Structure 1
Amino acid sequence: MANPQIKNGYTRIANELLEAICRLNISGNEMRILLYIIRRTYGFNKSYAEVPLSDISEALGMKKGNVSRGIKKLREANIVDHRPNKGTTPQTVSINKNYDEWAVESCTDLLLSNSITVINSDNPKGYQFGNPTVINSDNPKGCQNDNHTYKENIKDSIKERGERKTLPSSHVGQNRSAFVNDDNYNQLVSEYGADVIDKYISRVDDWAFKKGKNIGESSETIRRWLEEDNVQKLDPDIKNYEKFINQFLY
């Protein structure tokens, strides 16, 4: 008989992050992979873990091809950070705990959207909200529905919410899908230079725009991308020289 005990080990995770994961509208395989990554990282009090595909495949009883596709989708959605293996170094995986950057619509987001109607079939009054599109609560897929109008309304809702979201006028990408506030921008520029940071703001902005999502303040994402690309920081002597020159220019 199974008899799990906390004294034999447990995984520590913030309730806020766990609730965000519960709201994710992803496939069953992707959720299993995500939970296993959490087990291998937070379960060992680590922010990332070196985990070969074969380990994940064996632990989950899932084909390596399915594991690879699942990780790819989670990475594209910015839910996990995945670095492929290089030579004898195994791949590393970690959770992007800034769930505001996740490029996935949750079930809650879809159901609470202004353009979608939710009807509780157990409620005799049939309360409705917004557009008179009906979601059948008997649908075993929950957030999914084969109704064409339903799907179109979801797409329109996501688009409309993205258009309504306004971004600060600090350092905003051309598509207005990502920005960096003044303080973080100045800090990043002091480390990498304005040309590099402006380029990465554009890259993150383009990436978010293609995903159909406004991710807001993006300094953490930019810093992570810079580290992944092994972009070298400015030499301290150069920064001091620039400060000296700027005294005479401004």
Structure 2
Amino acid sequence: MTTPQTENGFTMIANELLETILGSGFSLHEQSVILTVIRKTYGYGKKEDDMSAAQIGAMCGVARQHVTSALNALAARNVINKRPGRFGMIIGIQKDHRRWFSKAQLRSMTDSPESGQGSPKSGHVQNVDADSPESGQVDSPESGHTKETLPKENHQKKTSCAPQADRDQVAETPAGQKGRARTGIAADLQDRFERFYAAYPLKKSRGAAEKAFAKIRPDEALLAEMLAALEKRQVSGTWLDPKFIPYPATWLNAQGWADVIAVEYSAPVHEVIDIFNEVLGQQLGEISLSIFVPAREALVTEFLTFSNKPDLARRYFTWLRDDNDLPPMIGFDRLIGRQGYADAIGGKFTRKP
């Protein structure tokens, strides 16, 4: 069973825009592509993002060639803006839906003798075939495909050494864990993600983690900082309980590697633990100083306020050892806690004569 929560991420979209999308007669492929673009932009608080047809298709379950067709058709109708990017195309929604063109308007413009090769204002080309993967590119500066850039892009497609290479210029790499296709992200960035994910103590929502990681695009220096922060978390003991470990995507989006983490006990707390180990360690079990537990730091700090007399810890632990019958399951944290201290001072464990 899964219980999605908004605190794990959500996509904000105006009702007016969503209703327009639902009522504009888009095909199933076009609507899937639109919603995926919205997820990858508005879902991360961005107006546009660098994405490939393969990446979009993997998210919405549409074949890459159909995604390419849908993107061309949507750009022709001025529903999206796109231009060449690093991994594919930088794509964003044209939020002013009054500037969108219906299919009928598009046909009338492309069929009109006055339209020639397309209107620069409309951003359309003649004979746009929304069902063909080889449909014409949008002849508009906003879309990113102009007459000057088309020959260069076509040349790149023809000279590709991979027959099935992604026409959105995305480097495809071998499948990753469990056959997941490693597309839409540079191989070196994917390798960094694998190292990060292997080190992260909670393996949850890998897909969301990959997207968050790709958004940050850490170099080797930042990855090293992330891994060092994860190691500190392990040493600090703050993540000993899995319920306190955030999902990896949540940690990445919150820049968790920048958190200030205490990794060792303060000198007064260290001294109290040393005295306990010396006096009661053999009887009740020693407390490790190698793993920092923030809750224990707070407990000992409070314990030191229970009396103004000097050497409280030694006097208290020695008295517990010599004059009390302590239960076998009682431990350090209970004895120094406020309730445990009150129970001991109140005579709950005092040895009967």
- Band of TM-score, shorter chain: 0.3 to 0.5
TM-score under structure 2 length normalisation: 0.31
Which structure has the larger Rg? 2
TM-score by length of 1: 0.43
